[in-house]
Amino acid sequence: MNGKLYLIPSPLGEYAPSEVLPAPVLDIISSLGCFVVEEVRTARRFLSAAGLRGRVGELEFHTLNEHTSPQEVEAMAGLFEGRDVGLISEAGLPAVADPGAALAALCHRIGVEVVPLVGPSSLMLALMASGLDGQSFAFRGYLPAKTEERRAAIRELEKQSKALHQSQIVIETPYRNDALFADFLKYLQNGTRLCVAADLTLPTAFVRTMEAGLWRKAPVTIGKRPCVFIVLS
């Protein structure tokens, strides 16, 4: 009898899991003994704070990150024999923009039920708060880092947004936030709306949407905070 795969969201910052996870999700976490995680150290800390303190030493951990081969993922099929397994990413929703999707895909192939649990999604929190159109949107991941390619990518983003009336969501490595923001102000047309959403779910959260022309007159410093950018032309 196969167990299930629970997709367990985790906090977007240094605070208690109970701040952003519903009570039944905390109960499910406490009932599990086997976890597939991006990094064991972070996962231990999260699980300890989520109610497993004192039991963390007995838990079974398997690593699934960008270094895990397809064969190693395949071998995880054995984990589900007779028990449920939890999947945890570094922050936010597992299996969205992280290597965990390969495990969920395996489960579909071998007939293991996949159960997604409710928790914080920085992308959706940013989109809700942006006031931009949520009727149609795309998540693009990271833009290229090199100047020429990035300029082309920003122009393309703006063009696609206009053609499809589609909000374009982009993320960046925190230490490059301000460089990306500067590039948006440099290359976006005056009337294009840009949302900057940093530190979501944290007391220091910042969300502001303005036209690029107005941002240019009143830019901000984002710093090395987790940040989501949304463009709508």
The kind and range of the H/E element at 145 are none
Shortest distance (Å) from residue 54 CB to a second copy? 22
Q: How many CA atoms lie within 13 A of 154 on its CB side?
A: 23
Answer yes or no whether residue 139 interacts with a second copy by CB under 8 A: yes
- Give the whole-angstrom CA distance, residue 153 versus residue 180: 12
Answer yes or no whether residue 104 interacts with a second copy by CB under 8 A: yes
- Give whichever of 61 and 139 is closer to a second copy, judged by the CB atom: 139
Return all residues near 220 (Cβ < 8 A) that are at least 6 apart: 181, 196, 206, 208
- Dihedral pair phi/psi, residue 166, rounded to 5°: -125, 120
- Give whichever of 23 and 58 is closer to a second copy, judged by the CB atom: 23
Please report, as residue ranges, which positions from 149 to 208 form the binding site for a second copy (by CB under 8 A). Answer: 166, 200-201, 205, 207-208
- Give whichever of 56 and 97 is closer to a second copy, judged by the CB atom: 97
The kind and range of the H/E element at 148 are helix 147-164
- Give whichever of 34 and 104 is closer to a second copy, judged by the CB atom: 104
Rule CB under 8 A: which residues touch a second copy?
7, 18-24, 93-98, 101-108, 113-116, 118-121, 123-141, 166, 200-201, 205, 207-210
